[in-house]
Structure 1
């Protein structure tokens, strides 16, 4: 149990700190001690734990489910059984009139579970519901947040929860091509952000804000949208500025010192590097929608292709210099001036879903 909690923290908790993994471990340890003592005295059997659906145990079960899915490359009978034991509890929260911050943290874990089961649309649907529930609680406004949570530690956890939901809402919307549930205009600009000790989440908040602008730029209903070259250049500048602002500890580098990074940090470095390329490719993608557009904007089309090639080189380097095993295929069906179609296959490592191209 403890090992799987550590796996969860390294693979997911380090990015989206919706639960305090140390408290989860303490709860799990106490739970195992209690059930073992009850079993020895004849007061329980192997099915006892299945009926435990209190807040702490439900969160523990979903942490273990996500971890076993990660180790099973998206498949795990144990994970499925763990989820089934809390499915009714999740449904009650989703359809109930009263709920708290811990309930929402549990639902985020459920959404992450579905995402790692390759049920991205369901994950998007659940995180959207959680986003609306966050607004209902008032977590999107500084004044109401202070009223909902008075304890400093709990307030910090609520802040981490809200911004994790914000980033996941953006991430899965881009992945599915469906709209965001949280709009930037509805979020208090004075709302506190996570502490600097959670650098990845802070970096991704800024990234997601740029993503909102990119979404408006590329989500046109017109079959032949007019290219706004000036806007493309401005958005690209913002992404590059964001990339330069990433803390040095999360900057991808080929320098020897970077080889001393932990596996978890190395994974975050490559994730952020590829995310920057992904966003820039998305910005330039409208240029590739027709042969005439490519011909008229050769420089921008070339930039999109170079970004795709750079992404492949970065992943190849990672594969050759770390234990993070990758398999990918990039298929180019035309010369570099023609439209590029790149298909990324399933990554054969626990974080493959975090690397999929948006849109």
Structure 2
């Protein structure tokens, strides 16, 4: 009721049109996902009414700002129901409409939006779409729809919104990191050292530039408040996790193989420390508020990345990382056990574990640790751009099933979250115990009693989660 009341105040005496109704439906549907913790029949019915109308591309002679808002809000709804591919599709449509309206051009904004308030809204909508375009592209590893070279350099920004201003800078940083990552087919996933150092420098500067009121009070330093405004708590945590995620992408190649770890142990420890730091922040968020419980899909993205980094490090150098990383890893598993059985994050984890079990069993993983297998289950998009080799099976599946990532609602086909958590612990133990057997070393393979091909296969599966 509060949403409806505020919406009525916003439109004042204006007549409520069908696009206004769609915006209201999207706001209510997204709010319901927070209350019911994910996808539900009521929100799906509301979204269905919107999708039936916005798909009629040829019926609209002109594009309105509300069209872009609708697609942007639709992408956010899909985020909260763990459908990142659909989020990417929706924000891509919003980006194309923004280009059609000329929101990326300063002169076009001045010509088409004469009133200051209208122009302010148009600028705000454009930058929100720009930032979400980066977010969903990194989530799916599919290309951006908006490119920095197409956007006017002097395009106005909104200094009155510190969070949005910080996210615009973050999105531009994402563009630099994306361009620096090795392209498809590269023999090596490494970033040149000077590029790596530069990206770390500008990412750290971005984190330092965040306004003081949005800076995270880190639990590691004992500065975190047990009670803080809910909105600030959420924004502070998201900003910090996003910075950690970019740093993970910049440095992750140091844990992708035993040779990489041995070549630069300090950098390998850095990326593992970043992963452990993200887990600590997520655990603190879960312990001190209901934000994580109500919006899990937003945070799973960062949790899966941290888990993958730790498992890679323990797999490739157990004597260096197994003991020190166990505490944070077990804490992360408690968050994994809160995953929705219907969510794509749990399916991605199941698919990864299932792919690694044949190798892990040779390290002593017990047969009963295997999670349920169902060949109908597929994960959401793995890193097509960043790690394209991991996505072939998934991509082909989408082509054949029409992109249906829901995979039905049959309970028997849903992952058992408790077993997934136990499966991850068993994998960790199987990798970690190798450090107790120095006589199992083989030439050129570090501490593993696996072949080089097996090590690469294990790495390939975990890379799809980063």
Scaled by the length of structure 2, the TM-score of the pair is: 0.61
Q: Which residue of structure 2 lines up, in the alignment, with residue 65 of structure 1?
A: 29
Distance 2:140 2:77 in 1: 16
2:204 to 225, 234, 240: 240
Distance 1:60 1:189 in 2: 34
1:271 to 238, 249, 255: 238
Deviation at 1:358, TM superposition (A): 8.1
Distance 2:105 2:337 in 1: 39
Larger Rg: 2
Q: Which residue of structure 1 lines up, in the alignment, with residue 183 of structure 2?
A: 220
Distance 2:204 2:35 in 1: 34
Q: Describe how 1:1-359 pairs up with structure 2 within 5 A.
A: 1-2=1-2, 4=3, 22=6, 24-26=7-9, 54-93=18-57, 96-196=60-160, 198-221=161-184, 222-254=186-218, 258-259=225-226, 261-325=228-292, 330=307, 332=311, 333-334=314-315, 335=318, 345=336, 359=466
8 Å contact from structure 1 (residues 111, 122) kept in 2: yes
Q: Which residue of structure 1 lines up, in the alignment, with residue 428 of structure 2?
A: none
Give the 3-state SS of the residue equivalent to 2:55 in structure 1: helix
Distance 1:148 1:336, change over 3 A: farther
Distance 1:94 1:246, change over 3 A: farther
Distance 2:216 2:169 in 1: 18
Distance 1:94 1:180 in 2: 24
1:117-139 CA-to-partner distances (Å, cap 9, x unmatched) read 22211110121121121111110
Give the 3-state SS of the residue equivalent to 2:128 in structure 1: helix
Distance 1:162 1:175 in 2: 20
Distance 1:30 1:171, change over 3 A: same
8 Å contact from structure 2 (residues 196, 250) kept in 1: yes
The total of aligned residue pairs comes to 319
8 Å contact from structure 1 (residues 28, 57) kept in 2: no
Question: Which segments of 5 or more consecutive residues in structure 2 lack a partner in the other structure?
Answer: 297-302, 349-463
8 Å contact from structure 2 (residues 181, 191) kept in 1: no
Question: Which segments of 5 or more consecutive residues in structure 1 lack a partner in the other structure?
Answer: 6-20, 35-51
Distance 1:336 1:242 in 2: 35
Distance 1:292 1:60 in 2: 54
Farther-moved stretch of structure 1 (130-139 vs 335-344): 335-344
Q: Which residue of structure 1 lines up, in the alignment, with residue 457 of structure 2?
A: none
Distance 2:19 2:89 in 1: 22
1:14-64 CA-to-partner distances (Å, cap 9, x unmatched) read xxxxxxx94x24369989xx9xxxxxxxxxxxxxxxxx9612111111111
Deviation at 1:95, TM superposition (A): 6.9
Distance 1:274 1:106, change over 3 A: same
Deviation at 1:83, TM superposition (A): 1.4
Distance 1:72 1:95 in 2: 35
Distance 1:310 1:263, change over 3 A: same
8 Å contact from structure 1 (residues 295, 337) kept in 2: no
Structure 1 vs Structure 2 CA RMSD: 3.4
Give the 3-state SS of the residue equivalent to 2:217 in structure 1: coil
